[in-house]
Amino acid sequence: MGGAIVTLISERYPMLFTGTIAVGAALLIRNDPINNPIQFLYKCQIPSLYLSNYTEVISKKAAFMNIDDVSPQTSCIYNYKEQCVKNKAPVEPVLYQIGRPGHGTLNITEYMNAFDTLLSWIETKKRPEDEECYMLEVKPERTAIIDEHGANFSVSRIDRLYGDIDLNLHAQGELHLLKI
């Protein structure tokens, strides 16, 4: 789930969950308690791991999205973590900041490592350290065929919301041979 939803769950419904993983850490909630009464409490109650591309954790995302009524305290996971410490929240969330731009452009190895980290945190009760340039390389099997007629390859994933596509082409392999 996204960062804001997971944050609200970890603050308000700890009895229903053991831990959470958030994909995305922009944490954009409009600072308008009258028209938008859902606000962060800054009291994380359960182990919460935020897995996010580095471009999502910068607080300037609000400006990029033309949202002018976002509170600085709610626009970024770093600010949220600071407020949790200040408010003596039972749990300080962990951030795994992926070292590539995008929104949710994570690979299965990064997802699985985050899941294993969260399970270990829950079992051992030992909070892991934040990771600032976390990136796990996946070396997929090469299945593209390149010949005098061009390239034959497959699309392995399409994200219809954000327009991301994953192809089984490699920058240093097939794309280089195709002069792309």
Over residues 18-29, the pLDDT tens digits come to 999 998 777 766
Measured in degrees and rounded to the nearest 5, phi and psi for residue 52 equal -150, 145
- Predicted pLDDT at 97: 84
- Predicted pLDDT at 65: 47
Report which listed range, 75-84, 132-141, 147-156, is most confident.
75-84
- The mean per-residue pLDDT over the stretch 153-166 comes to 72
Q: Which of 41-55, 62-76, 111-125, 158-172 has the lowest mean pLDDT?
A: 62-76
Domain spans of the chain? 3-134, 145-177
Q: Within 13 Å, how many C-alpha atoms sit on residue 33's CB side?
A: 3
Asked whether residue 69 carries a pLDDT value surpassing 50, the answer given is no
- Predicted pLDDT at 52: 85
Closest CA to 50 of 83, 17, 76, 86: 76
Q: How confident is the model at residue 89 (pLDDT cuts 50, 70, 90)?
A: very high
Q: How confident is the model at residue 88 (pLDDT cuts 50, 70, 90)?
A: very high
**How many CB atoms are closer than 10 A to CB 73?**
18
